[in-house]
Amino acid sequence: MRKLNKITCKTCKKSFLTKNNKKIFCTRKCFKKNYYHRKKAEELSNIKFPVFLCPNCGKKIELNFDPVKDHRKWTKFSCPNCNVLMINVCEEIVVKDVPTV
């Protein structure tokens, strides 16, 4: 007869008994949850967001979102250096062809 091992689930941190030492998740639901978060993290690490120079202060700004897909964040985004709203200088960006890095 095999001995039952007490293992802590990697996702929900609950203890459970198992015969197999390879099992690290208590249920299929915990396995899927871990898989989803792992794949989501990989997708986010592969995305490169825009980097540009602020037309007001001239310093480099690195965005952590895509301004085309998430335009609501862009309308509220301000330069971390000079605190100018980017929506106010959007016309300058389009007209002057501001250089990107």
Parallel/antiparallel/unpaired status of strands 5-8 and 15-18: antiparallel
pLDDT digits 0-9 by tens, 36-87 = 999 988 877 777 777 878 877 888 888 888 777 787 887 788 888 888 887 6
Residue 79 lies in a domain: yes
Residue 101 lies in a domain: no
CA nearest neighbour of 30 among 44, 17, 14: 14
Residue 60 shares a structural domain with residue 85: yes
Of the two residues 42 and 29, the one the predictor is more confident about is: 29
Residue 40 shares a structural domain with residue 59: no
Residue 33 shares a structural domain with residue 61: no
The long-range contacts involving 1-7, CB below 8 angstroms and separated by at least 24 positions, are none
pLDDT digits 0-9 by tens, 3-20 = 888 989 999 999 999 888
Q: Tell me which residue range forms the domain holding 19.
A: 5-46
Residue 76 lies in a domain: yes
Residue 36 shares a structural domain with residue 55: no
**Total domain count for the chain?**
2
- What's the distance, CA 51 to chain centroid? 16
**Structure tokens given for 57:** 């202060």
